[in-house]
A and B are shown apart, each in its own frame.
Chain A
Amino acid sequence: MKTFKITFKLYLQLTLLIYSVLVSFFQSSFAEPKGEDLYLENCAICHGTDGQGGMGIPISLDDFLKSASEDYIKKTIRLGRPNRIMPSFYWMPESDINKIVSYLGSWRKSPAPIWDSKPVKGDQLAGELVYKNKCASCHSENGRGGKGSGLHFSRSNGMIITPPALNNQGLLNSAPDAMLHYIISNGRKDTPMPSASTLGLSKTDINDLVSYIRSFHLKSIIHKPLYSEEPASLIQESPYSFDETVENVKRAITGSNFVHIRDQALTSGFDIETKDSPRQTIIYFCNFSFLYDALKIDPRVGMFLPCRITVTEQQDKVLMMSINPKHLSQLFNNDALDESCDQMYEVYSGILEDASL
C-alpha cells in the first residue's frame, strides 16, 4: 500500500510538472494579451484610446485617478454600471481584469489610493436636502445621473461630461464611503464636478451627503432580465389591399407629426436574380427633433434609423410591420432611453392601428 501511495504521488507530481511546462509553453506561444490590448479591445470604444472619454466619461484625468483605487476599478469593470451604458464584464477572467487595472495604472502620476472600508457617519435626511440644493442640478433627483453619454461632441447637451448616476449599484458596490467623501471634498479638476469649497459645503454637509448617497445601496443587485416578453417585431394585418395599405401608412405617418422620407423595395439597391418575390415596400419616415434628442441621450440609437414600416403581401394577406422599440431599449443598457423607446412604441403601434382602421 505504501509503495502505491509513493508511486501515485510521483505520478501526480510528474504530470503536474509536465502540465505546468506545457501551460507556460502554450501561454507564451499564444502571445497572451497585454493590458493595453485588452483595454483597446474592451474599453476604448467608450472611454477613448487614451482614456480621454467618449460614450464613457474620461478615466485618464489625474483627479479621477487620484480618487480611484485599484480595487474600485476592478469592481467597476466586473459590475459595470447597470442601465447606465457601461456593461458588466462578468465574463472576463480575473487575470485580464488585473491587467487592465495595471494598464490604467500606467497613466497615474501618483500612487493609487487605498480606501478604508469604514463607513462615514452622517445624517441621511440632512444630506438629502444638501443634495437637492447643490448636486441635483447636475446629477438629477435621487442620484439618477445626467442624461446623455460620457462626453458630448457635436450634439451638445449643455454640459461637457454627463454627470454619472450616484444611485447606481455598480458605483455603490465599488466605491467605499471614504472614496465618495474624497470626491465630494475635492471635486474633479478639468471636469464640471465642483469641490466642496466651491459649493460652500461644510464638513458635516460632506458626511451627510455620503450617507444620503449610501442610502441608495441595495443589499443585492437586481438583474433585469435582458429580454422581457416583448416580441422582436410589431406585426399587424391590414384589411385593405397592398397599395391602399401603403397609402394608409403614409397618411398615418404624417398624422403623427412625422415626415415621410421615401418608399423603397426591400431589395432595392441589390442585384437579384429573380424578381418574383412577395411585394414588399419599406416606408421610411422621421421626426428630426425626436431623432436629435434620442441621439443626444445615446448616439448608438442611430443604428435603428430612420424609422420604417414595411408593408408586405404574404399568402393573400397584407401585413404591416416594424421593429419593436420596447425590445430595443433593452439592448443598450441605458434606462435614459426607455422613455424615448416607449414614445417610439406608441408612435409605431399608433400608425399600425390608424392604417388598418
Chain B
Amino acid sequence: MKLILRKFALLLGLLGLIISSNSYSVVTGEMIMVRSAEAFPETMSLLQEAIRHQGYQLSRVQRVDVGLSAKGYATDKYRVVFFGKGNEIQQISAKYPQLIPYLPLKIAIFAEDDNTILISANPSTYNDLFNIPELKPTFDKWFIDITKIMKSVQIQN
C-alpha cells in the first residue's frame, strides 16, 4: 500500500512537471507572417539569401508594384518571390497534379512605411487540404523551412 502511494505521488509530480514545461504552444495559423524592421531593399536581399541558405532555388520575382504603377495605380513596393527545389517540384507535380496550382512555393513581400511585411501560406495546412500521407513529411519540412527563412529576416530587437 505504502509503495503504491509513493508511486502515485511521484507520478503526480512528474505529470505536473511535464505539463508545465510544455505550456508554450506554437502558432498553427493558416499563414506565416513576419514583420522586418528593415526597409524593403535590405529585407528583399536578406530574404533571397535566406531562401538560398535553406537549400532552395529562386525561380522568379514577380514585381507586382511595377505592373500596377505602369497602369497608373500608386503603390509602394510589392513583390512575390517564387522558390523551390526543381526536382522535387517536378516529381510532386507529375504524381499529384492537384498540387500544381500551389507550386512553386512563394513569399509575398511588401513595404509598409519603413518596415517590410512578409507573408506565406502555411504548407502544413496542405496536409488537411490534400490528404496525401506520402507528402506529409514534405509539407511539414516546407513549413519548417519557410518559418526559418521568415524568422531570419524578422525584427531583431
**Interface residues in chain A, defined as those with a beta carbon under 8 Å from any beta carbon in chain B:** 4, 7-8, 11-12, 14-16, 18-19, 22-23, 26-27, 30, 33, 36, 40, 42, 44-46, 48-49, 54-55, 87, 91-93, 96, 153-156, 226-227, 232-233, 235, 261, 266-274, 277-278, 280, 286, 288-289, 291-292, 295, 299-300, 302-303, 305-306, 308, 310, 312, 314, 319, 321-323, 327, 330-332
Chain A at the B interface: mostly helix, strand, loop or mixed?
mixed
Decide yes or no: A93 and B23 within 8 Å by CB, A155-B74, A232-B130, A269-B82 being known contacts.
yes
Q: How far is the CB of B36 from chain A (nearest CB, A)?
A: 10
Smallest CB gap from B84: residue in A: A270
CB pair A4 B1 closer than 8 Å: yes
Residues of B within 8 Å of A, CB-based: how many? 74
CB pair B115 A303 closer than 8 Å: no
CB pair B98 A232 closer than 8 Å: yes
CB pair A45 B2 closer than 8 Å: no
In Å, the complex CA distance between A278 and B13 comes to 59
CB pair A45 B35 closer than 8 Å: yes
CB pair A300 B31 closer than 8 Å: yes
In Å, the complex CA distance between A107 and B98 comes to 49
**Interface residues in chain B, defined as those with a beta carbon under 8 Å from any beta carbon in chain A:** 1-2, 5-6, 9-10, 12-13, 16-17, 20-21, 23-25, 27-31, 33-35, 37, 57-60, 62, 64, 67-68, 71, 73-76, 78, 80, 82, 84-87, 89-90, 93-94, 97-104, 106-108, 110-113, 115, 117, 119-121, 126, 128-130, 155, 157
Contacts of B101 in A (CB 8 A): 232-233, 308, 310, 321-323
CB pair B62 A292 closer than 8 Å: no
Smallest CB gap from B59: residue in A: A269
In Å, the complex CA distance between A300 and B31 comes to 10
Decide yes or no: A270 and B86 within 8 Å by CB, A54-B112, A299-B117 being known contacts.
yes
CB pair A312 B64 closer than 8 Å: no
Contacts of A7 in B (CB 8 A): 2, 5
Smallest CB gap from A226: residue in B: B30
**CB < 8 Å: which of A4, A18, A267, A289 contacts B2?**
A4
CB pair B120 A303 closer than 8 Å: yes
Number of CB contacts from chain A to chain B under 8 A: 201
**CB < 8 Å: which of A23, A48, A302 contacts B80?**
A302
CB pair A270 B9 closer than 8 Å: no
In Å, the complex CA distance between A302 and B98 comes to 21
CB pair A233 B86 closer than 8 Å: no
In Å, the complex CA distance between A36 and B155 comes to 12
- 9 CB-based A-B contacts, threshold 8 Å: A12-B9, A36-B157, A40-B157, A54-B115, A266-B93, A269-B58, A269-B60, A289-B71, A303-B120
Most buried by B among A235, A269, A321: A269
Contacts of A18 in B (CB 8 A): 13
**CB < 8 Å: which of A22, A93, A269, A312 contacts B100?**
A312
Q: How far is the CB of B80 from chain A (nearest CB, A)?
A: 6
**CB < 8 Å: which of A30, A36, A227, A302 contacts B78?**
A302
Q: How far is the CB of A253 from chain B (nearest CB, A)?
A: 15
Contacts of A12 in B (CB 8 A): 9, 12
Decide yes or no: A23 and B20 within 8 Å by CB, A12-B9, A278-B94 being known contacts.
yes
